[in-house]
Structure 1
Amino acid sequence: MILILIKIILCSSLLIALYYAFLEKEKMYQFNRFFLISALIFSCLAPLISIKTESPKPTGNSRIFFENATQQVLDLSQKEENFNWINFMWIIYGLVTFIFLLKALNSILIIKRIKGKKILYHNHQVIVTKDQLSPFTFWKTIYLSENYLVDNTIDSRVFLHEKSHLEQKHSVDLLFIEFLKVIMWCNPAFYFFKKAIITNHEFLADEAVLKNDFNIKEYQELILDEIISGQNYNLTHTFNFNNTKKRFIMMNRKKSKLTGFKKVISIPMLIVAFGLFVQKIYANDPKPNHESIIQKTEPEKTQQPTAFQQIVGDTKELLENKMVNNTNDEKMIADTIRPKSKSSSQETTLPKQEIATADTENIINPVYPGGMNQLRSKVANTFDGSKLGSSKATLRTDIEYVINEEGTVEHLMVTGDNEIFNNEAKAAFIKANEGIKWQPATKDGVAVRYTLRLPLTMTFH
């Protein structure tokens, strides 16, 4: 979700920057309006859409090795409620969103509470109020002070300006961008979008007035007179618009020779942005580009050995194969069987866990449906080695995870030197556990949390 939000911010920022750089100063107001709304929709939808494409063909074969023993650590610590910063941040985000929603609703209520005389003027609804405010439009209504109605007539320039906002339904654009700001208030690009949309609306309204052969200079003087009076409301188009300088410049500007060219290249801009930020999913090749080898895998047993038996067995194997003859090695093995309370390396790695020892009895390890070989096979088959390129190095990583009391995988952590290999190993492990419920570990018949570590190695040839 956070990644999607970041993509929306980047995509919308890119598109609004392109608008200000290429389109804002061109006299193609209707097209600019279309571009701004389309850019908003594109930037919000592109990161949510997934397209499936073929995976790049691998340059060579590879092998995935799983070490013999899946290392196991029993979590005998009492359940503690850890503070979840991610959930806390989402709560803060929700509260701020709620505040912005209330603010937007309040802006609408303020407008709706304006009291005045309702009249029908040239087939348009007008509310004439005693309040001192400049003419503005909202939804299907024009609001203005009674001093603008002289002998039941409104200045034709003022009326044409506001009529343009109504007939072109500019309020719909404003409500749309305001809704996006409420949902994604952390996106700074949306604030620039709103400013650009309002500015373009005013260009359109001014154009509608000047098409009726009104004197530009007199119209500009009328606008300047309105600057010193009235009150502006959010979500409205006020005749007293504060971006006066840009409006005056655009009134006197002629169409550029590049207008047509910029129209042509702006649509590909949207398509390119869509392609950059859309989610790409590579289709899995039914024939993996690597072989999976499980070294020295022992047959799965229904009744798994206790953690103490596992550790003792591993210790004996070390003694037999490596011929440990010195006291330092013996001390290391002893520490493995019964780590010290503070100096043990396991204590440093897992401060809130303890390794099963001789004092730990009646422990049954967690069981993956179909056994650990089934898990290894799924990880190997779903692993996408194509992203590793033509690397010839031997890659290794450790997948460490916790099986909780409900048999669900949590606290997944992958450690290794190659970040791409780590990410792909993590993704493969997650896919292998989708919709899977482990049989949780038990101690004295009671389900307990259990930490496991699955070493994974890949070689290329």
Structure 2
Amino acid sequence: MTTYLLKSGILLFIFYLIYRLWLENEKMFLFNRIYLLASLVFSLLIPLQLISFEPSATSKIISVQLDELAIQKNSQSFKSLAESLDLTNIILAIYVTVFLVLIIRFLLNLFSLYNKVLRSEVQFVKGEKIILINEPILPHSFWNAIFINKQEFKNDRIPSELIAHEKAHLDQKHTLDILFIEFLQIIFWFNPLVILYKRAIKLNHEFLADAVVNNQFREVTKYQSLLLEIASNKTNIILASNINYLITKKRFIMMTKKESPARIFLKVCSIGIITSLLLFVFSCKDNPEESNTKKQNKIEKSSVGIEEKSTLPDEDDTVRSLAGLEIKPEFPGGIEEFYKFVGKNYQAPEEEGLKGKVYITFIVEKDGSLSDFKVLRDIGYGTGEEAVRVLKLSPNWLPGTINNKPVRTLYSLPITIQSPD
């Protein structure tokens, strides 16, 4: 999950940066709308590697780096595992709490709009559904209706340009975009990039609606003056398309900006090339055999004097190797049970002041048995041999698979020997 969130976050940032620097100031509003929505979908799907490019390998041995297991000399305290599980539960509880709050807020906003429709007068003007609201509001639209202040509508004080603006939102189905980004914001509430996308999408909606109004009335200056008159009104409907959203200098500039077909063509082609490259880079799987060689070299070097920091396998290499697995090998009962199994059976030496790290690798074979135990580092007094003894007691695992075929999987297990507190 961490790898997925990291990759999707990187993609979201790249696509958003491209939009801000390369696309936002161009008068290509429809393409920009498609780009923003597609980049969101792309960023969330590419890390799943539904499409993948895998280098050929004659022999596949996938590498998996296990979390560190801390064992005290009494062999009864599994501190690192407990702390890890506690932290995971806390993070999950926070996520679920915020998620539920956002869901409730979203449903309340929907109910508020629905309630307005139920208790308000409805009229149809030129085929458009008009909801007449008693409260002082600016015209805004949602789903298939335009919401307008009843008194101003009866007194014929609603400019035609405002009605045309909201009608453009309805005709172009902008509500679907808003609901989509609201849904993503609820799920990925911890990612600030989603908020930036939401702002960009809503502003682009205004560009699109402004273009429709100006094409229809051909009075840009008059329309800009109208917007300035209502710019001080702070009314904002969260789920609605609202004419008062982000009335800025940039919005006025875009109304009078000249199109350059050649520049637009160049930018559209460049976006296609960049997207293809990102798809290839983030969908490409490393050669597992090559990745394993890198890991072994790093670990073996550590045993002859390299600093302790360099003894652990590189996390990025591990993630790329693990990405080749469709199903990871599994200890009976899950990985937590494996940690408990090792902790229960491992007998640390009673040598006074003995502490440090044991590093061992083993292979989960295609039949689930464990083999090829290698102690890459220990702290003496039989600590490495004891780790091998315990792993040989392990029951068979469920093997990992690629393309529904079992594969050999190399596991790396760091064990830290601690003194009792």
- TM normalised by structure 1 equals 0.60
Deviations 1:70-97 (A, max 9, x none): xx99975278892421232122222222
Helix, strand or coil: the match of 1:18? helix
What SS is found at the alignment partner of 2:129? strand
Is residue 212 of structure 1 aligned with residue 212 of structure 2?
Answer: no
- Pairing partner for 1:88 from 62, 87, 90: 90
Aligned residue in 1 for 2:45: 45
Residue in 2 aligned with 1:222? Answer: 226
- Structure 1 distance, partners of 2:216, 2:206, is 16
| From 101, 104, 127, the counterpart of 1:102 | 104
> Aligned partners of 1:163, 1:337: CA distance in 2, in Å?
75
Q: Return the letter of the residue paired with 2:115.
A: R
Percent identity over the alignment is 27
Residue 254 (1) aligns with residue 258 (2):
yes
8 Å CA contact 2:133–2:150 kept in 1: the answer is yes
Q: 1:429 to 1:47 in 2, by over 3 A?
A: same
Distance of 1:40 and 1:337 partners within structure 2? 51
CA distance in 2, matches of 1:408, 1:148: 76
Matched, 1:428 2:403: no
Asked whether the equivalents of residues 53 and 283 of structure 2 are also in contact (C-alpha less than 8 Å), the reply is: no
Could you tell me whether the CA contact under 8 Å between 2:142 and 2:175 is conserved in 1? Answer: yes
SS at match of 2:197: helix
- Aligned twin of 1:300: none
Structure 1 letter corresponding to 2:111: L
The amino acid that maps onto 2:371 is R
Alignment of 1:382-393 (within 5 A): none
**Structure 1 stretches lacking a partner, 5+ long:** 59-71, 289-310, 312-335, 351-367, 381-394, 410-425, 434-450, 454-461
User: 1:293 maps to what in 2?
Assistant: none
2: CA distance between counterparts of 1:408 and 1:199? 57
Change (3 A) 1:337 1:265: closer
Structure 2, unmatched stretches of 5+, are 60-70, 294-345, 358-362, 379-383, 398-407
Partners of 1:338 and 1:254 lie apart in 2 by: 79
Runs of 4+ with >6 A deviation = 72-75, 78-81
Contact residue 227 and residue 247 of structure 2 kept, 8 A:
no
Contact 1:52 1:282 in 2 (8 A): no
User: Partner of 2:82: helix, strand, or coil?
Assistant: coil
d(CA) in 2 for partners of 1:107, 1:408? 53
- 1:75-126 CA-to-partner distances (Å, cap 9, x unmatched) read 7527889242123212222222222222222222222232421111211211
Q: Distance in 2 between matches of 1:132 and 1:230?
A: 11
1:183 aligns with 2:196: no
Shift in Å, 1:369: 10
| Within-5 A mapping of 1:300-315 | none
The equivalent of 1:64 in structure 2 is none
For residues 48-75 of structure 1, what are the alpha-carbon distances to aligned partners after superposition, in whole Å with 9 as ceiling and x for unaligned? Answer: 11525125789xxxxxxxxxxxxx9997
> How big is the alpha-carbon RMSD for the aligned residues of Structure 1 and Structure 2?
4.0
Residue of structure 2 in register with 1:240 after alignment: 244
Distance 1:337 1:246 in 2: 68
- Matches of 2:47 and 2:364 in 1, distance apart? 35
Q: What residue in structure 2 maps to residue 4 of structure 1?
A: 4
Could you say if the C-alpha distance between residues 31 and 82 of structure 1 is closer, same or farther in structure 2, counting changes exceeding 3 Å? same
SS in 2 for 1:53: coil
Q: Would the aligned equivalents of 1:136 and 1:238 in 2 still touch at CA under 8 Å?
A: yes
Report the equivalent of 1:77.
Answer: 76
Q: CA deviation at 1:258?
A: 1.1
Q: Is the 8 A contact 2:141 2:166 kept in 1?
A: yes
Give yes or no for the alignment of 1:122 onto 2:104: no
Specify the code of the residue in structure 1 equivalent to 2:102: F
Q: Is the 8 A contact 2:369 2:396 kept in 1?
A: no
Q: Which residue of 2 aligns with 1:149?
A: 153
1:276 to 281, 285, 304: 281
Structure 1 position 277, deviation (Å)? 2.6
Closer, same or farther in 2 for the Cα pair 1:31/1:91, shift >3 Å? same
Instruction: Give per-residue Cα distances to partners, 1:364-395, cap 9 Å, x unaligned.
Output: xxxx999xx95225x79xxxxxxxxxxxxxx9
Query: Aligned partners of 2:349, 2:19: CA distance in 1, in Å?
Result: 67
Q: Deviations over 1:195-230 (max 9, x none)?
A: 110111000000000111331111111111122336
Q: Structure 1's 452 and 187: CA in aligned 2 closer, same or farther, altered over 3 A? A: closer
Give the secondary-structure state (helix, strand or coil) at the position aligned to 2:130: strand
* One-letter code aligned to 2:178: L
Check conservation: 2:364, 2:371, Cα contact below 8 A.
no
Matches of 2:188 and 2:206, distance apart in 1: 25
2:200 matched to which residue of 1? 196
Aligned counterparts of 1:279 and 1:53: Cα–Cα separation in 2: 6
